């Protein structure tokens, strides 16, 4: 790996299908593989969990239409580099800070997921599990760069999708007689709704039953996830690895296809698992519970209420899992992140399938972690060290700084994985909100509004990121646990932060010096097909 182009964007030579698979693996993190079904089944109880399906997949439509082809044509390695060239060096530094904050929040979720997997399947503590994951990522990310990461992620996508689909097909065939989980789960929704109502839960398929996720918050969370997807630095950098602007667009299409395979299956996995959990826990004496329950309870991922030891509080001989408000009514707390990992055991599938799911979970978590760490590395080495500290740095010096930065970032990521601010899906959703509030407005305005100014962009990013991050810290239970504003959860505040960013950028741009005539002409030209004179000159200058 002798050049920065090879290290950061694989020399721009990755075919569209392979790039699409790598994008899918990079983006379908531990949140998608490990946490998605748990979010739908447990944390959001069915219908409300659809915000993650709509938001995370819908964002790719925005990415393919609004951003990817134009950013690829602009020809820069990183989002901060685009921001720096389009706006100013000050805006570049703000973008570097934003990228690092987003990436560290996101990677905290991935390392937390790695800890869950190793805790269960290696019998080690979560801390040791995270440290093992750190060593794996260090090996192929620091040494291989983007080219090594890309082809590793293509393999990881293959592993994770097979690991997700085979157990889902087996469970669907076992429970419903239909091997297609996307169809089979429809057969049990009526039974699941009836069972949940009988146990004090709201119906699984009914809309807006939870006051926390009414229409307002469903809209805000969906939008934050959608616009955040279109502003994620580690995903957008993938489009620079494509061979051409056309290939970048097709990469997005392939990514949507590959992502859809998992996302159309997740609701089925959630439904089957929820039905089995409710049925077994509330009808089986505690001394006769299935092996999967004891296995996960032994590693403290199934506990009593609020993490207390499991206890038969009402003396009926069972560990009740119900929708009751009191501890006596509900005697079990199930970690949101174990449902997919436990689903083969819950369905009584053979041990090889259990191991396959564990391998898929690790592939999902580690592939995304490596992409995020590369964003941090490239932001510091290229956008700070080379652009600001040592413009005369050689390729070798830049690569050395990049690898050192990535090594240090892995240490920070490990700490965050050991002390995450929430369960995997929640932490990742926070990162999407931060991306929506910081990058999405600046990218859209930078491409489609030629008079967006440098001072406007810097002010907008600072306002959007600061507002969103402050609100999250204020309302997250692990920090201050504040009540928030109008009941908006931390996972939905990114939408408001995005609007703040848009407003500040537009207003400040009205009163500050406009971009040069050449930059305004370049902004117009990157929206048209083919290579134009100004674009060619810009690429040569860059």
Distance, in Å, from the CA atom of 45 to the CA atom of 50, rounded to the nearest integer, reads: 10
Of 214, 210, 207, 109, the C-alpha closest to 488 is 214
The DSSP line for 276-342 is: HHHHHHTTS-GGG--HHHHHHHHTTSEESGGGPPP--TTSSSS----S-SSTTT---EE-GGGHHHH
Of 387 and 460, the one with more pLDDT: 460
> In the structure, what pLDDT confidence band is assigned to residue 10 with cuts at 50, 70 and 90?
very low
**∠308-107-332 over CA atoms, to 5°?**
20
> In the structure, what pLDDT confidence band is assigned to residue 8 with cuts at 50, 70 and 90?
very low
* Helix, coil or strand: residue 242: strand
- In the numeric block, the tokens 């609701």 are attached to 267
Q: What is the pLDDT of residue 437?
A: 96
Domain segments of the chain as ranges: 4-152+209-270+352-541
Q: Which residues contact 407 (CB under 8 A, 6 or more apart)?
A: 138, 142
Q: Which residues contact 421 (CB under 8 A, 6 or more apart)?
A: 105, 108, 427, 430, 476, 478, 479
* Helix, coil or strand: residue 27: helix
Most confident of 113-122, 232-241, 470-479: 470-479
CATH dotted code for 4-152+209-270+352-541: 1.20.1730.10
Tokens representing 179? 């091997």
Q: What is the pLDDT of residue 228?
A: 92
> In the structure, what pLDDT confidence band is assigned to residue 230 with cuts at 50, 70 and 90?
confident
Of 428 and 224, the one with more pLDDT: 224
Lowest mean pLDDT of 192-196, 466-470, 496-500, 504-508, name the range.
192-196
> In the structure, what pLDDT confidence band is assigned to residue 3 with cuts at 50, 70 and 90?
very low
Q: What pTM was estimated for this model as a whole?
A: 0.84
**∠32-424-60 over CA atoms, to 5°?**
35
* pLDDT over 90 (residue 494): yes
Mean pLDDT, residues 442-465 taken together: 95
Mean pLDDT, residues 40-44 taken together: 87
61, 177, 185, 274, 356 from 171: Cα distances, Å: 31, 9, 10, 12, 14
Most confident of 70-74, 374-378, 473-477: 473-477
Of 277 and 536, the one with more pLDDT: 277
* pLDDT over 70 (residue 237): no
> In the structure, what pLDDT confidence band is assigned to residue 238 with cuts at 50, 70 and 90?
low
Distance, in Å, from the CA atom of 335 to the CA atom of 43, rounded to the nearest integer, reads: 9
> In the structure, what pLDDT confidence band is assigned to residue 533 with cuts at 50, 70 and 90?
low
Distance, in Å, from the CA atom of 156 to the CA atom of 116, rounded to the nearest integer, reads: 18
Distance, in Å, from the CA atom of 344 to the CA atom of 121, rounded to the nearest integer, reads: 14
Q: What is the pLDDT of residue 147?
A: 52
Contact 23, 257 (CB under 8 A): no
pLDDT in tens, 250-260: 777 888 888 88
Q: Which residues contact 419 (CB under 8 A, 6 or more apart)?
A: none
Contact 32, 231 (CB under 8 A): no
Contact 330, 323 (CB under 8 A): yes
Of 154 and 150, the one with more pLDDT: 154
Of 389, 347, 425, the C-alpha closest to 185 is 347
Distance, in Å, from the CA atom of 165 to the CA atom of 269, rounded to the nearest integer, reads: 9
Distance, in Å, from the CA atom of 24 to the CA atom of 14, rounded to the nearest integer, reads: 14
Phi, psi of 2 (to 5 degrees): -105, -10
Query: Is the sign of the CA dihedral 388, 393, 396, 397 positive or negative?
Result: negative
């Amino acid at each position: 790996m002798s050049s920065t182009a090879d290290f950061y964007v694989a020399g721009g030579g990755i075919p569209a299908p392979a790039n699409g698979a790598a994008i899918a693996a990079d983006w379908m993190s531990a949140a998608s593989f490990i946490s998605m079904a748990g979010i739908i089944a447990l944390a959001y109880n069915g219908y409300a969990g659809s915000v993650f399906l709509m938001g995370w997949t819908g964002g790719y439509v925005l990415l393919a239409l609004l951003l990817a082809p134009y950013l690829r044509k602009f020809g820069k390695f990183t989002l901060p580099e685009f921001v720096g060239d389009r706006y100013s060096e000050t805006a570049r530094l703000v973008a570097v800070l934003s990228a690092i904050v987003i990436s560290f929040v996101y990677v905290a979720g991935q390392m937390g997921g790695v800890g869950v997997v190793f805790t269960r399947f290696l019998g080690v503590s979560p801390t040791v599990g995270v440290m093992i994951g750190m060593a794996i990522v260090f090996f192929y990310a620091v040494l291989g760069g983007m080219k090594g990461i890309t082809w590793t992620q293509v393999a990881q996508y293959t592993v994770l999708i097979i690991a997700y689909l085979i157990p889902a097909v087996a469970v669907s065939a076992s429970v419903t007689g239909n091997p297609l989980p996307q169809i089979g789960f429809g057969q049990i929704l009526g039974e699941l709704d009836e069972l949940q109502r009988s146990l004090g839960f709201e119906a699984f398929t009914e809309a807006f039953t939870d006051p926390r996720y009414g229409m307002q918050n469903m809209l805000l969370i969906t939008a934050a996830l959608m616009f955040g997807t279109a502003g994620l630095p580690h995903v957008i950098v993938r489009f620079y690895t494509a061979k051409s602007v056309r290939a970048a667009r097709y990469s997005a299409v392939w990514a949507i296809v590959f992502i859809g395979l998992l996302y159309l299956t997740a609701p089925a996995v959630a439904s089957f698992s929820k039905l089995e959990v409710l049925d077994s826990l509330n009808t089986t004496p505690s001394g006769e519970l299935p092996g999967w329950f004891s296995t996960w309870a032994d590693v403290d991922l199934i506990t009593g209420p609020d993490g207390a030891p499991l206890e038969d509080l009402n003396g009926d001989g069972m560990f009740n899992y119900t929708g009751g408000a009191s501890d006596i009514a509900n005697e079990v707390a199930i970690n949101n992140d174990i449902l997919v990992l436990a689903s083969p055991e819950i369905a009584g599938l053979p041990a090889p399938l259990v191991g396959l799911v564990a391998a898929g979970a690790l592939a999902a978590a580690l592939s995304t972690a490596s992409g995020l760490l590369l964003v941090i590395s490239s932001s510091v080495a290229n956008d700070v060290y080379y652009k600001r500290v040592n413009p005369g740095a050689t390729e070798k010096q830049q690569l050395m700084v990049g690898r050192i930065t990535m090594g240090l970032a892995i240490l920070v990521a490990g700490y965050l994985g050991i002390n995450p601010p929430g369960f995997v899906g929640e932490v990742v959703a926070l990162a999407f909100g931060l991306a929506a509030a910081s990058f999405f407005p600046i990218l859209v305005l930078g491409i489609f509004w030629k008079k967006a100014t440098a001072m406007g962009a810097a002010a907008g990013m600072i306002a959007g990121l600061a507002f969103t991050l402050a609100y999250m810290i204020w309302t997250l239970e692990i920090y201050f646990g504040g009540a928030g504003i109008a009941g908006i959860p931390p996972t939905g505040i990114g939408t408001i932060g995005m609007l703040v960013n848009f407003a500040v950028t537009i207003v400040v741009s009205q009163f500050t010096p406009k971009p040069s005539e050449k930059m305004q002409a370049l902004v117009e030209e990157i929206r048209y097909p083919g290579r134009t004179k100004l674009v060619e000159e810009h690429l040569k200058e860059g």
